[in-house]
Amino acid sequence: MQKISGKSVQNGTAIGKIKVYTKIGTPVKRIHVNNAVAEILRVEKAVNQAIMDLQNLYKIAVNGAGEDSAAIFEVHQMMLEDEDYNDSIRNIIEHENVNAEFAVARTNEIFSDIFASMEDEYMKARAIDIKDISNRLIHILTGEEENILSDLKEKVILIADDLTPSETVQLEKSMILAFVTVHGSLTSHTAILARTMNIPALISVPIENINELDGKIGIIDGKEAVLYIEPDDNTIEFYEKAVLEEEVQKKLLLELRGKPTVTSDGKEIHLCANVGNIGDIAFAQSNDADGIGLFRSEFIYLGSKDYPTEEEQFQMYKQALQLMEKKKVIIRTCDIGADKQVDYFCMDKEENPALGYRAIRICLDRVDFFKTQLRALFRAAVFGSLSIMYPMIISLDEVKRIKEIVSEVQTELETSGIPYAKHVEQGIMIETPAAALISDELAREVDFFSVGTNDLTQYTLAIDRQNGKLDSLYDKHHRAILSLIKMAADNAHANGKWIGICGELGSDLELTKTFLDMGIDELSVSPGMILKVRKRIMEL
């Protein structure tokens, strides 16, 4: 028996035969050509075909994993249309008189190396996206079929050197028990897709001689981030019991749908869902969310090629409210910046983007942009129970300036005779130590707090949460973080305001009791965690 440790992308247990995924295709050869123009035309035709393929992949991903996860294929389309990328291919063909396949392969090496050499972990992970679009073009140019494992006859544990987003989304999920990759990162789009698909997965597993594993029996322990190869009888027996227990737990959780989230002594907690777009609301509803505790409006901007108009945003917010009927929907204003960059925002490169020009700082600097979103929000609020939440607050002056801009927007709507909701609940995120420390003053100016524990953790501990080298220091249960949350909760309640948690810690079952003891009024978690958290609360 061999035991190999890696990093867990998605918890869960799987036992089954291993299938090794190997990418087909012969190495691209350098061939001298006499007609460079013809080769450039071949590339242009291949790019158009690739974009059509990606549009089909987007539809598949939306149906299988939601719009949030499918967005990567829109990003890949934009990358295929990138001038620098295409200019590189054309220049290599023209200056070296080589075949289109070689020019694409050479451009892939150049751009992949650029991304891979970057210090930022998120940007490093984009190297796989460059490889994905380049391989797609080469497949089209050579006429080779992609090996998507669509003809599997039995359920398997899929092991690969790496998996691109398009490979992952096209897998027949009903035949995949789990997957393991030798490379990859926790912030890659593949990891995001794995979590959305709810498939147990490990990455960064140092497997040698990967092809020798094909057909062998394997076990994935997602919780402990371990892969077992050819396990002994005792190990198999232990994990077979774990698989059965997980199935029983899934069935028991389904019985909690429709039940109130109340502790055994009668304390009720609002249990809501975090979503990235309209498509995710179906997941929230199927898991019986009490409402939407965090609607990440920045994904509207990430999925657009230009600033979304007021009307486009209004229609999206209106649809979200109508889908949730009378349940509360808390929409966070645009939180672009840090690891969420948008080209058309034309922002300068920053040495420390997480500490830089982002979120409310952009909104208060680009007031017209901010007003466009606010107008759409106040107009949509007529159609349901909408609350607005402002991110990355560090001062009382920011809150007062926001209120001034809101007043201006309402006056503009009133003057124009456009229907809007005059009384909309407005709150702020507590995700900086500064906001927590002055939460007594802030509570007097807003209607509620929602704690963004991901950023609060990284700012309190001075640890970049995108940096995998610091994982051992990233202590989510650090007493300083819990003290700041407790301080914000006390100050909220002292001023008659409610407080929720919408960050990752909200779904940490080890802290559920701690948060209830603090008096936290609402927990907002990923849709797949709602029933698990409800079960935990009902046991307290």
Query: Rounded to an integer, what distance in angstroms lies between the CA atom of residue 384 and that of residue 390?
Result: 19
Residue 467 lies in a domain: yes
What CATH number is attached to the domain comprising 121? 1.10.274.10
List the pLDDT tens digit at each of the 540 positions of the chain: 899 998 888 888 999 999 888 765 557 889 999 999 999 999 999 999 999 888 887 777 666 556 656 777 888 888 888 888 999 999 999 999 999 999 999 999 898 888 777 766 667 777 878 888 898 898 888 876 555 555 677 889 988 887 765 566 566 667 888 888 888 766 555 565 566 566 788 988 898 888 888 899 999 998 899 999 999 999 999 999 998 888 887 777 777 788 888 988 899 999 999 887 777 787 788 888 999 999 988 877 776 777 889 998 999 899 999 989 889 999 999 887 755 566 677 777 777 777 888 889 989 999 999 999 999 999 999 999 999 999 999 999 999 999 999 999 999 999 999 999 999 999 999 999 999 999 999 999 999 999 999 889 989 998 876 666 776 777 889 999 999 999 999 999 999 999 999 988 898 899 999 999 999 999 998 887 888 899 999 999
Question: Does one domain contain both 421 and 499?
Answer: yes
Q: Is 46 exposed, middle or buried (0-12, 13-18, 19+ CB in 10 A)?
A: buried
Using CA of residue 404, residue 405, residue 408, residue 414, what is the dihedral sign? negative
Residue where one domain finishes, among candidates 226, 252, 278: 252
Residue 262 lies in a domain: no
Tell me if 147 sits within 8 A of 23, measured CB to CB: yes
The letter for the amino acid at 191 is A
- pLDDT at residue 100 in the model: 92
Question: Does one domain contain both 133 and 171?
Answer: no
Residue 290 lies in a domain: yes
Question: Does one domain contain both 113 and 217?
Answer: no
Expressed as residue numbers, the domain containing 134 is 36-142
> Nearest to residue 461, comparing CAs of 475, 443, 440?
475
Residue positions forming the annotated binding site for Mg(2+): 431, 455
Residue positions forming the annotated binding site: 296, 332, 431, 454-455, 465
Question: Does one domain contain both 372 and 414?
Answer: yes
Query: Rounded to an integer, what distance in angstroms lies between the CA atom of residue 468 and that of residue 466?
Result: 6
Residue where one domain finishes, among candidates 127, 142, 157: 142
Radius of gyration of the chain (CA): 25
Using CA of residue 376, residue 379, residue 380, residue 381, what is the dihedral sign? positive
User: For this structure, is 502 an active site residue?
Assistant: yes
Residue 57 lies in a domain: yes
> Nearest to residue 53, comparing CAs of 125, 120, 145?
145
The letter for the amino acid at 406 is V
Residue 159 lies in a domain: yes
Token digits of residue 58: 């987007």
Question: Does one domain contain both 125 and 184?
Answer: no
Q: What is the pLDDT of residues 368-415, one digit of tens each?
A: 999 999 999 999 999 999 999 999 999 999 999 999 999 999 999 999
Task: Give me the DSSP letters along 310-338.
Answer: HHHHHHHHHHHHHHTTTSEEEEEPP--BT
Question: Does one domain contain both 361 and 415?
Answer: yes
| Residue count (the chain) | 540
Catalytic residue among 139, 189, 270, 363: 189
User: For this structure, is 363 an active site residue?
Assistant: no
- pLDDT at residue 122 in the model: 66
Residue 261 lies in a domain: no
Query: Rounded to an integer, what distance in angstroms lies between the CA atom of residue 167 and that of residue 148?
Result: 6
Q: Tokens 């009888």, residue? A: 233
- pLDDT at residue 77 in the model: 87
Task: Give me the DSSP letters along 270-282.
Answer: EEEEEESSGGGHH
Residue 258 lies in a domain: no
Catalytic residue among 272, 334, 363, 502: 502
Residue 55 lies in a domain: yes
Residue positions forming the annotated binding site for phosphoenolpyruvate: 296, 332, 454-455, 465
> Nearest to residue 423, comparing CAs of 410, 413, 405?
410
Question: Does one domain contain both 367 and 460?
Answer: yes
Token digits of residue 475: 């202590």
Question: Does one domain contain both 203 and 319?
Answer: no
Question: Does one domain contain both 185 and 87?
Answer: no
Question: Does one domain contain both 137 and 155?
Answer: no
The CB density around residue 367, as the number of other CB atoms within 10 Å, is: 14
What CATH number is attached to the domain comprising 372? 3.20.20.60
Looking at the structure of the chain, the number of domains it has is 3
Residue where one domain finishes, among candidates 104, 127, 142: 142
Half-sphere exposure in the Cβ direction for 201 (13 Å, CA) = 28
Tell me if 186 sits within 8 A of 125, measured CB to CB: no
Query: Rounded to an integer, what distance in angstroms lies between the CA atom of residue 226 and that of residue 5?
Result: 4
Question: Does one domain contain both 411 and 395?
Answer: yes
Question: Does one domain contain both 127 and 196?
Answer: no
Q: What is the pLDDT of residues 261-281, one digit of tens each?
A: 898 889 999 999 988 777 778
Helix (H, G, I), strand (E, B) or coil at 532: helix
